[in-house]
Amino acid sequence: MGTHADLAIAELNRLGHGAFSRAEALAAGHSPKSIRYRLEVGLWERLYPTVYSIAGSPEAWMRNQSAACKWMKGVASHRAAGHLWELPGCEKTPIEVLTATNNVMPHTGVRVHRTKRLPESQATVVDRIPCTTIERTLMDLCGHFGDRRGSAIAVDDALRRGLTTLGALDHCLYLTARRGRNGCGVLRKIVHSRMRTSVPPHSPLESVIYDVIERSHLPMPRLQLTIRDSHGAFIARPDFVYLDEKLVVQGHSKKWHWGEAAESKDLDQHNRLGALGFRIIYVTWADATRYPDHLVATIDAHLRVAA
């Protein structure tokens, strides 16, 4: 029995990223006495009051997050859920759990979010860890980030990768939103904003530029419009295009536009667009975040010249 139970625990330990609960150990065939014995002799180590790990299992964020979810009978949420969904702005995150359980005391190093009700439709599993759905995660992140910039970047990333849709986000708001709930207002504004375009911004910088333009008096450009020459050959797919005015607004970040190969490609694209009569405005992070009014004035001036 012990061998069979220990083999089952080894599998549970693997599936749980190095963590398993007392309830799981009992279900695997261990008795309270055998659990106590393995803890006393050091075969297992206690991570939380009712969550254990096989001795020697490496400590890692995934193990700690999995263990916290098991202990609190909850799901990874907010930045932890964003990290599991690989959303921007959630690269470094604490352990965070959303739970409807009230009889579990918080633990050092764990951020606990309590809720009266967590619908099954808003919980899923990501990389073998219980987690809020992408829609609920984005709503919670909008409450965490507070400002629209970080929230819009996360939402646009999820839309671009096909993790969710504007309809699914709107439905989540319909089911969950209520007066005073953090994040609902910010997410609702972003959803309504993105309904104005057929495709979402394709990078964090594009998300910021989009919001700068939308909040201004400027007309909205077309996003990711394919431009071809008179023979139908592909020329470019710029970030933002004012087609009638033949004006291109292009985000220019270090991540995608620095280095010999990237600069050569940009120069070739610039020349080919210029041959078709397009003017190009390059926008850096500093332009979009520190000097948005100047960016709006620059785009406006180019549009007036074209008119």
- Its pTM stands at 0.88
Q: What is the structure's pLDDT at 36?
A: 96
Tell me if 3 is assigned to some domain. no
Q: What is the structure's pLDDT at 11?
A: 94
Q: What is the structure's pLDDT at 115?
A: 86
Domain residues for 188? 67-194
Same-domain status, 209 and 152: no
Same-domain status, 179 and 264: no
Same-domain status, 302 and 243: yes
Tell me if 294 is assigned to some domain. yes
Tell me if 297 is assigned to some domain. yes
Same-domain status, 218 and 272: yes
Tell me if 132 is assigned to some domain. yes
Comparing 206 with 3, the larger pLDDT belongs to 206
Q: What is the structure's pLDDT at 106?
A: 66
Q: What is the structure's pLDDT at 179?
A: 59
Q: What is the structure's pLDDT at 35?
A: 96
Tell me if 199 is assigned to some domain. no
Same-domain status, 97 and 51: no
Same-domain status, 189 and 226: no
Q: What is the structure's pLDDT at 175?
A: 85
Share of the chain above pLDDT 70, in %: 95
Query: 110: which strand partners?
Result: 95
CATH of the domain at 274: 3.40.960.10
Q: What is the structure's pLDDT at 38?
A: 95
Same-domain status, 16 and 79: no
Tell me if 2 is assigned to some domain. no
pLDDT, tens digit, for every residue of 72-123? 999 999 999 999 999 999 998 899 999 988 777 667 788 999 888 788 899 9
Same-domain status, 76 and 188: yes
Same-domain status, 233 and 150: no
Count of domains forming the chain: 3
Same-domain status, 148 and 187: yes
Distance of CA 27 to the CA centre of its chain: 35
Starting at the earlier edge strand, list the strands of the sheet with 247-251.
222-223, 240-242, 247-251, 279-283
**Nearest CA among 15, 22, 23 for reference residue 38:** 22
> ∠ at Cα 136 (131, 142), nearest 5°?
120
Q: Which of the listed residues 194, 222, 245 is the one where a domain comes to its end?
A: 194
Q: Which of the listed residues 160, 194, 228 is the one where a domain comes to its end?
A: 194
Q: What is the structure's pLDDT at 20?
A: 97
Q: Are 149 and 208 in contact (CB under 8 A)?
A: yes
pLDDT, tens digit, for every residue of 272-298? 999 999 999 999 999 999 999 999 999
Same-domain status, 178 and 73: yes
Same-domain status, 221 and 281: yes
Least confident range from 20-24, 161-165, 250-254, 258-262: namely 258-262
Q: What is the structure's pLDDT at 2?
A: 60
* Region 14-22 average pLDDT: 95
Tell me if 4 is assigned to some domain. no
Separation between Cα atoms, residue 52 and residue 13, nearest integer Å = 9
